Structure 1
Amino acid sequence: MRIAFYGSSLLSAWWNGAATYYRGIIRELARHGHRITFYEPDAFDRQQHRDIAVPDWAEVRVWPADEAGLRAVVAEAARADVVVKASGVGVFDDELLAGVMQAAQPDAIRIFWDVDAPATLAAMRADAAHPLRRALAALDVVLTYGGGPPVVEAYRGFGARSCVPVYNALDPETHHPVLPDPRYAADLNFLANRLPDREARVEEFFLRPAALLPARRFLLGGNGWDDKPMPANVTRLGHLGTAAHNAFNASALAVLNVARDSMAEVGFSPATRVFEAAGAGACLITDAWTGLDLFLKEGEEVLAARDAADVAAHLAALTPQRARAIGQAARARILAEHSYARRGAQVHALLRDLATGMREARVA
């Protein structure tokens, strides 16, 4: 099928945590024979911070983030068999949603792909006139980055015909074990952009443990942390491109994951970093959230923390041998059950079933 996919960016992870998710899913869809064109705006300096070249498994259209650019890419939705509008494009989100779904052919499959479902649902609850609330009845399916049963139930309650979680996963060609790099050697490494709805949790799960363990070394990667007060044993690295993630994850005693507020509250929402760390064989410490055991077993494949004291206790007790065993167990579990090959097969089967159902409905 010809798929028109409107998202934030495929080429750049700059202030764009969904980049590796898009790459993993879309590459697998291409392997199933789909032809994907990804439409991303030239916005937020992402084109000046590309992590990858234009791949051979997707066409990428970078459009000027203005009204003329919007009109041009909206019109191209008419050429596709499947039209996907992702959340969080960052510019003209409402106009894109309305425009591409209206421009799509009558027999095209229409999809809203939500990469931050808890936040989107909160916005819809707060606004009875929210554009997505009006659009849901005309969409064939809502796909989500995570969220599990609570998100599915909420979307169905708002009138979605169908809602299917397509969780983050591992691309073993991109994220895999490498030799440790002295530049990233530390006791706890954490990679995340600074966002208002995660900052308090970062303070609790990363900065407070650093203060509790002043003799240990902590590394922080990601955008936006330059002016944030931190303990002296925390080193800021700034933005880390995808190519540096394996070494960053493989060089520390442990790697931290901290969910955003809404995703921690809803649960069932493992971040991309969980799978990247597991793919590198890293020992992962994550803030605890409902549904973790669907992906990794606490105590054997991951260490879960309820507060700063838990993080500090995990680090104090962790030996290199146990860290290595946990990382190896996590990698084995994720490779077996949570690869992008599986996610791509899931979406391919969904598209096939939707197309079959639409053909049968027309015949009837």
Structure 2
Amino acid sequence: MKIVYFTHSLASCWNHGNAHFLRGVLRELIALGHEVQAYEPEGAWSLANLLEDHGPEGLDAYRDAYPELRSESYGERGDLARMVDGADLVIVHEWSEPDLVARLGKLRAQGAPFLLLFHDTHHRAVSEPEAMRAYDLSAYDGVLAFGEALAEVYRGWGWGDRAFVWHEAADLRHFHPPAVERERQGLVWIGNWGEGERTKELKEFLFRPARETGIGLDVYGVRYHETAKATVRRYGGRYHGWLPNAAAPDVFARHLATIHVPRRFYTRLLPGIPTIRIFEALASGIPLLCAPWDDAEGLFRAGTDYLTASDGADMTRQLERLQADPDLRVSLVRHGLETIRARHSCAHRAEELLAIVTRLRSSRAKSRGVPTEAVHHASTEPELRSVA
């Protein structure tokens, strides 16, 4: 099967969390024997910021970790017909420009044979619903939503059973425990500051507990203005700037624990959707503590895969408990890895995507009188082997 994916950027993970998952799932599809091609727009702001801050060397970690991946850039009026020629499946990410989304839909409406899916991994469907409903998805075959709460929004917009839950996951080819354990010290937090939508939560669940336990705190991320950097320093933390996601496993391996502090959109408006950092941290074998979030879909085992804290004081107590109990740390790592390996790898998501394709093709075939056995064979048998 030939798969074409339109992303904001495959090369850059600078404030672009979808690149984490996309790299892993495309790699798994390639490993299954499918032909995969990724496209990203010229001048993508994530890549532009990365190059401005770090130069071409900022891409080294990605290239070293994902040698089989590449992407092709396109201009404002790129030849979309050429780009999707021969495709069986085309996926368009939510960060794509509305004009691109509409033009691809027009090709589909004019009879292009590929399945066309919209992939949403953001909160704009609830934080900016009118902006999202302005996207012309009328000719799309389905929506891939990164959580049940988001899929339910699309069902409310009339997508019904064509709104599919497709969670993010960990790339186990890259995110795994270190081959040889070394001394671990302190707490690490990898996350972007953003627009202040979780400043209060960061102070309560990360900065104050780290200072009160004296555990030491290393912070990585982008979009930290001077006030934000001063806040990190005031609580005794060390700010290190941007971290290539490909380098995250090594950073996790040097630290005693990490903390998940969700953005408010994912605790209030889209409950049950974890960030990809939960998947990646558990896959890397580092004990994880979580600020309050509702695992409404039962993706993990709270208290077994990770520790939870109801407020800042509780987070301080949990950190002290974790520091003092090596057996607890071992148990958390073991169970967290167990859950990820059983349910939440990019290999799992690749298989889920292929199952969605089979379902959509079967629905289309029934309306045309095509035997479903032929549809299943065409959906799962690889035709070519290539790179993205």
Does TM, normalized by the shorter one, top 0.5? Answer: yes
Residue 194 of structure 2 is aligned to residue 188 of structure 1? no
Deviations 1:202-238 (A, max 9, x none): 233212323433x220111111225212334201111
Partner of 1:83 in structure 2?
Answer: 90
CA contact (8 A) 1:282 1:328 kept: no
> What is the correspondence of 1:153-164 to structure 2 with a 5 Å cutoff?
153-161=152-160, 162-164=162-164
Contiguous gaps of at least 5 residues in structure 1: 64-68
Paired with 2:73 and 2:256, the residues of 1 have a C-alpha distance of 40
**8 A Cα contact 1:119 1:262, kept in partner:** no
Indicate if the aligned counterparts of 2:105 and 2:137 stay in contact, CA closer than 8 A. no
Post-superposition shift, 1:303? 0.7
Q: Offset of 1:130 from its aligned partner? A: 3.4
1:338 corresponds to 2:341: no
Aligned partners of 1:37 and 1:293: how far apart in 2?
A: 32
**Paired residue total:** 346
What amino acid does structure 2 have at the position aligned with 1:360? K
Counterpart residue number, 1:40: 40
* 2-structure distance, mates of 1:20, 1:78: 24
Amino acid of the residue matched to residue 62 of structure 1? S
Q: Does the CA-based 8 Å contact 1:190-1:219 persist in structure 2? A: yes
Instruction: Say whether residues 1:120 and 2:141 are aligned partners.
Output: no
**TM-score computed with the length of structure 1 as normaliser:** 0.86
- The corresponding residue for 2:309 is 305
Amino acid of the residue matched to residue 317 of structure 2?
A: A
Query: Does the CA-based 8 Å contact 2:208-2:235 persist in structure 1?
Result: no
Confirm or deny: 8 A CA contact 2:8 2:95 kept in the other structure.
yes
Q: Pick which of 224-233 and 154-163 moved more.
A: 224-233
Cα distance in 2 for residues equivalent to 1:106 and 1:288: 46
Shift of 1:181: 6.3
Aligned ranges for residues 1-364 of structure 1 at < 5 Å?
1-41=1-41, 42-44=43-45, 45=48, 46=50, 48=56, 49-50=58-59, 51-53=61-63, 57-63=68-74, 69-79=75-85, 80-89=87-96, 93-104=97-108, 105-116=111-122, 118-124=123-129, 126=130, 130-132=133-135, 135-146=136-147, 148=148, 150-161=149-160, 162-178=162-178, 179=180, 185-196=184-195, 197-213=197-213, 215-225=214-224, 227=226, 228=228, 229-230=231-232, 231-265=234-268, 266-291=270-295, 294-318=298-322, 319-363=325-369
- Give the direction of change, closer, same or farther, for the CA distance of 1:58–1:249 in structure 2 (3 Å limit): closer
Change in CA separation of 1:76 and 1:312 when aligned onto 2, cut-off 3 Å: farther
More strand by share: 1
For 1:66, the equivalent position in structure 2 comes to none
Deviation at 1:7, TM superposition (A): 0.9
User: Could you list the runs of 5+ residues in structure 2 that have no partner in the other structure?
Assistant: 371-388
Higher relative contact order (CA 8 A, sep 6+): 2
Secondary structure of residue in 2 paired with 1:294? coil
Q: Are residues 320 and 337 of structure 1, via their aligned partners in 2, closer, same or farther at CA, if it must alter by over 3 Å?
A: same
Q: Judging changes above 3 Å, is the alpha-carbon distance between structure 1 residues 322 and 293 closer, same or farther for their aligned structure 2 residues? A: farther
Q: Distance in 1 between matches of 2:80 and 2:67?
A: 23
Distance 2:212 2:23 in 1: 38
Name the CA distance, whole Å, in 2 between partners of 1:77 and 1:156. 30
1:60 partner letter: S
Measured after TM superposition, the shift of residue 175 of structure 1 is 0.6
* Residues 230-281 of structure 1 deviation map (CA, whole Å, 9 limit, x = unaligned): 3342011111113321122122221111212212222221211111111111
CA contact (8 A) 2:187 2:255 kept: yes
Question: What secondary structure does 2:30 align onto?
Answer: helix
Quick one: structure 1 residues 138 and 224, their matched pair in 2 at CA, closer, same or farther if it must change by over 3 Å?
A: same
Q: State the alpha-carbon separation in 2 of the partners of residues 243 and 155 from structure 1.
A: 32
SS at match of 1:37: strand
CA contact (8 A) 1:270 1:292 kept: no
Name the CA distance, whole Å, in 2 between partners of 1:13 and 1:310: 33
Give 1:38 shift: 0.8
Question: Alpha-carbon deviations, 1:70-91, whole Å to 9, x = none?
Answer: 21153435412222110124xx
2-structure distance, mates of 1:274, 1:212: 24
Normalised TM-score (structure 2): 0.81
- Note the aligned Cα RMSD (angstroms): 2.4
Q: How far apart in 2 are the matches of 1:57 and 1:359?
A: 34
> 2:346, 2:112 → 1: CA distance?
30
Give the partner amino acid of 1:202. Answer: L
Q: Call closer, same or farther: CA 1:17–1:322 in 2, change over 3 Å.
A: same
Shift of 1:59: 4.9
Q: How far apart, CA to CA, are the structure 2 residues paired with 1:320 and 1:222?
A: 29
Structure 1: distance between partners of 2:215 and 2:103: 52
Mapped to 1, the partners of 2:92 and 2:297 lie a distance apart of 30
What's the CA shift for 1:320? Answer: 2.9
> Are the equivalent residues in 2 in contact too, given 1:186–1:252 (CA < 8 A)?
yes
Preserved contact between residue 11 and residue 19 of structure 2 (Cα < 8 Å): yes
Taking the aligned partners of 1:292 and 1:302, their CA distance within structure 2 comes to 16
> In the alignment, is the contact (CA less than 8 A) between 2:175 and 2:283 conserved in 1?
yes
Shift of 1:37: 1.2
Q: Measure the CA separation in 2 of the matches of 1:220 and 1:361.
A: 54
SS in 1 for 2:158: coil
